[in-house]
Amino acid sequence: MAFVKEQFSVSERQACKLFAVDRSTYRYEPRPDRNAQLRGEMMALARQKPRYGYRRLHAILTRRGWAMSVMRLYRLYSEEGLAVRRLKRKRLSRPAASRALHVRQNQEWALDFVADTIGTGRGIRVLTIVDAFTRECLELEVDSSLSSRRVTRTLERIIEQRGTPEVIRCDNGPVLTSRHILGWCEEKKINLVHIQPGKPMQNGHVESFNGRFRDAQQLKTSAMNG
């Protein structure tokens, strides 16, 4: 359009009329994307936590100081193709969970759940918490079900006795990826590390403990039945 104006010395009105373009459209200058920084932060977090929905991402970003509504984040979440059906959505690769050299207690705690059945046939769950440096079992919390709030109450009880961990490592179960757990870790300034799906040995300390724990339970049951 500008080339036509300069080459043939026609006015803006005549050039727009020639190309059937509205003058307001020709003069329009797009505004800068005010969501660029938020979009970048959201995508970086989504790559780290690809199984999190927009509400969980909103909870974390809000605690990090971002002021936005859930629907604003949902719009950006949809624009980036993160809200479409699982088989078609944009794939986000998650890097392997980092493994630091453990040199002191409370540097990292490892969490996991163990399922079992009692003599009446009722199922139970056991929350196991292990210090990755001392290999000490910090707690065995047992119940028929363990909610996210029950998990944080257990962790707070341990923290009162021995201090706050720098890192908590766990898998991607619904309890350990809940908004309550995410918000609690942000509030306590604890780095919550989720291992890659299908890679249990990235949390090898607690997996090793759970194996010995199951063996001990089986030996005890065999002795009682024998």
Q: What are phi and psi of 81, to 5 degrees?
A: 75, 25
Residue 71, amino acid: M
Q: Residue 70 in contact with residue 58, Cβ under 8 Å?
A: yes
Give 22 or 85, the one with higher predicted confidence.
22
Cα separation, 110 vs 167, in Å, equals: 8
**pLDDT over 90, % of the chain:** 37
pLDDT greater than 90 at residue 106: yes
Q: What domains appear along the chain, each with residue ranges and CATH number?
A: 108-225 (3.30.420.10)
Contacts 24+ apart (CB under 8 A), 5-11: none
- Which tokens is 123 given? 């199922």
Query: How many residues are given for the chain?
Result: 226
Contact 168, 108 (CB under 8 A): yes
pLDDT above 60: residue 223: no
What are the E-state strand segments in the chain? 108-117, 123-131, 137-143, 167-170, 191-194
Residue pointed to by tokens 């995410």:
182
Q: Which two tokens stand for residue 71?
A: 């629907």
Q: What pLDDT sits at residue 94?
A: 57
pLDDT at 131: 94
Q: DSSP label at 51?
A: T
Comparison of pLDDT for 204 and 214, the residue scoring more? 204
Is residue 60 scored above 70 in pLDDT? yes
- How would residue 26 be classed by pLDDT, with cut points 50, 70 and 90? low
Q: Which residues contact 148 (CB under 8 A, 6 or more apart)?
A: 175, 176, 178, 180, 181
Contact of 174 with 56, CB cutoff 8 Å: no
Contacts of 49 (CB under 8 A, 6+ apart): 56, 57, 94, 177, 194
CA angle 96, 137, 202 (to 5 degrees): 10
Q: What are phi and psi of 116, to 5 degrees?
A: -150, 175
pLDDT digits (tens, 9 = 90+) for 144-201: 999 999 999 999 999 999 999 999 999 989 999 998 999 999 999 999 999 888 888 8
Among 197, 21, 202, CA closest to 111: 202
The strand pair at 167-170 and 108-117 is best described as: parallel
3-state secondary structure of 98: coil
Is residue 87 predicted with pLDDT exceeding 50? no
